Amino acid sequence: MTVSMFPDDVSASARDVLAACAAAGLRVAVAESCTGGLLAACLTAIPGSSLVVERGFVTYTNAAKSELLGVPEALFSSVGAVSEEVARAMAAGALAHSAADVSAAVTGIAGPGGATPDKPVGLVHVAAMRAGGAALHERHVFTGDRDAVRLEAVRAALDLLKHLAD
């Protein structure tokens, strides 16, 4: 019996993403902030994932986002790390700094702290991009504790990846 550290629906979604990417001959890179590697862990928990997963970036700080993904530092002062613009730049950076064909990026406020009046706990920006294409973006405000917000962010990123792979 195989037991996953992720809920069944999340594991099933990860399997679907990997199958769709494998069928399309696509390699995946992920760039994560508030999920701290959960998206990469979810994908790589599936046997055979090495055929699809190219790499993952955990860029928890603004400096890491700039150094590893090339996110322009000016974005942090103009719109903040938790923004559509940074999520899109992270997705583009993951492609630019890897041999992947498709990427997903997550940045948000998982809580319990870190919120502002304009950016509540649970605010997550998810972006996904296929090489040569425009980045898709979704803005979410998830409810629940830190673990719930992070898991919902993984679900959202997997959904965007699946959409791009189909």
Which domains, ranges and CATH numbers included, belong to the chain?
A: 8-165 (3.90.950.20)
The tokens for 98 are: 């890897």
At residue 94, the 3 state secondary structure works out as helix
Type of residue found at 112: P
45, 6 contact by CB (below 8 A):
yes
**Which pLDDT score, from 0 to 100, does residue 3 have?**
56
pLDDT confidence of residue 84: 98
User: Has residue 2 got a pLDDT over 60?
Assistant: no
Contact 158, 30 (CB under 8 A): no
The model's pTM: 0.97
